[in-house]
Amino acid sequence: MNDVGLLSAAWRTLRRRPDVIVAALIVLFFAVMAAFPRLFTATSPRACAIRDARLDPQGWGSAHPFGTDALGCDVLATMVAGVRPSLLLAFVVVGVSLLIGVTLGLLAGYYLGWADYLISRTIEVFLVVPLLLAALLLLSLFKNVELGAGTFDVILLPAVVLILFNWMSYARYVRASVLEAKNLDYVTAARSLGASDVRIMFRHVLPNAIGPVTALIPTSIAAVIGTEAVLSFLGIGVRPPATSWGIQISQGSEWVLGGAPHILIAPLVCLIAAVLSLVVLGDALRDALDPRLTA
């Protein structure tokens, strides 16, 4: 009964905020783009003609609405094709790291002792290993493995690398807030009524400790999309011929001062719009789910 009440109350609060509606529409727009790329462009991102390289944007309705990139590929088509791997990678990486980080942080903060020792040291080990070094290592390990070309196959390697080096910050944040929350009276009160450790952790401590982490999620989504471009440069990003916003941005940045800024601007605007919308949504969701802020 209480979950339904909370969600409907959350929906009522969200509806009253126009920025939330706009943000939701933008996220929906990209979701549709990822699901049905054909709606947005008929051009294939792989139909590149080098003689058409670096054409300026020609406006809607023409052959290359957003122009072409350094290799003569259509910018709009590349962008549309990049939505799916980029967003999928971002959500998979953030989702899985969140799961790992929250679980480990909760266990470490709640039980302390040897569990905390083990988890905290592991966090430190992962923090001191440089991302690129580890990425190169994994690259050499998986160099000869054929992963296929399915939607998930193309993002598998960058997802593994990014998850391995992403979960620590969540774990640390959760551990710190759990340390704070677990000594509060309501936790003692739940214990005095005979609640089990698992129940206390997930029903009483976690909902009160998750706040700082939810604020972290939208920005890490942006960071994941950006880092993926770096991994692509090393050859372990999204597998070609699939493409992503990150790859497009890193290629476009080479031509900003070379007379073709549109190659960068188009995917960058999309990335900023998507991330900003997620920030607004995340913020609104946090406010709506916290009963203290719901009047």
Choice between 206 and 225, CB closer to other proteins:
206
Amino acid sitting at position 266 = A
d(CA 252, CA 258): 10
x/- map, 204-223, other proteins, by CB under 8 A: x--xx---------------
Written as one string, the DSSP assignment of 223-278 is: HHHHHHHHHHHHT-SSPTTS--HHHHHHHHHTTTTTT-THHHHHHHHHHHHHHHHH
Choice between 3 and 146, CB closer to other proteins:
3
- Residues across the chain: 295
Written as one string, the DSSP assignment of 189-229 is: HHHHTT--HHHIIIIIIHHHH-HHHHTTHHHHHHHHHHHHH
Task: Work out whether 15 is an interface residue with other proteins (CB under 8 A).
Answer: no
**Alpha-carbon torsion, ordered 250, 252, 253, 257, to 10 deg:** 160
Task: Identify the residue among 2, 18, 51, 150 touching other proteins (CB under 8 A).
Answer: 2
Choice between 54 and 286, CB closer to other proteins:
286
Choice between 5 and 259, CB closer to other proteins:
5
Task: Identify the residue among 12, 46, 121, 199 touching other proteins (CB under 8 A).
Answer: 199
Task: Work out whether 193 is an interface residue with other proteins (CB under 8 A).
Answer: yes
Percent helix, strand, coil in the chain (nearest 5)?
A: 70, 0, 30
Rounded to the nearest whole angstrom, what is the least distance from the CB of residue 198 to other proteins in the complex? 10
Choice between 11 and 36, CB closer to other proteins:
11
Q: Report the Cα 172 to chain-centroid distance in Å.
A: 18
Stretch near other proteins under the rule CB under 8 A, chosen from 17-25, 44-52, 186-194, 247-255:
186-194
Choice between 200 and 275, CB closer to other proteins:
200
Task: Work out whether 190 is an interface residue with other proteins (CB under 8 A).
Answer: yes
Instruction: Give the three-class secondary structure for 1.
Output: coil
Rounded to the nearest whole angstrom, what is the least distance from the CB of residue 240 to other proteins in the complex? 46
d(CA 90, CA 223): 9
Rounded to the nearest whole angstrom, what is the least distance from the CB of residue 202 to other proteins in the complex? 12
Considering only residues 253 to 292 of the shown chain, the ones binding other proteins according to CB under 8 A are 290-292
Q: Is 227 exposed, middle or buried (0-12, 13-18, 19+ CB in 10 A)?
A: buried
φ/ψ of 70, rounded to 5, equals -60, -25
Choice between 42 and 193, CB closer to other proteins:
193
d(CA 193, CA 90): 41
Query: How many residues touch other proteins (CB under 8 A)?
Result: 25
x/- map, 166-185, other proteins, by CB under 8 A: -----------------xxx
CA angle 22, 27, 31 (to 5 degrees): 145
x/- map, 112-151, other proteins, by CB under 8 A: x---------------------------------------
The site for other proteins (CB under 8 A) is made up of: 1-2, 5, 112, 183-186, 188-196, 199, 203-204, 207-208, 290-292
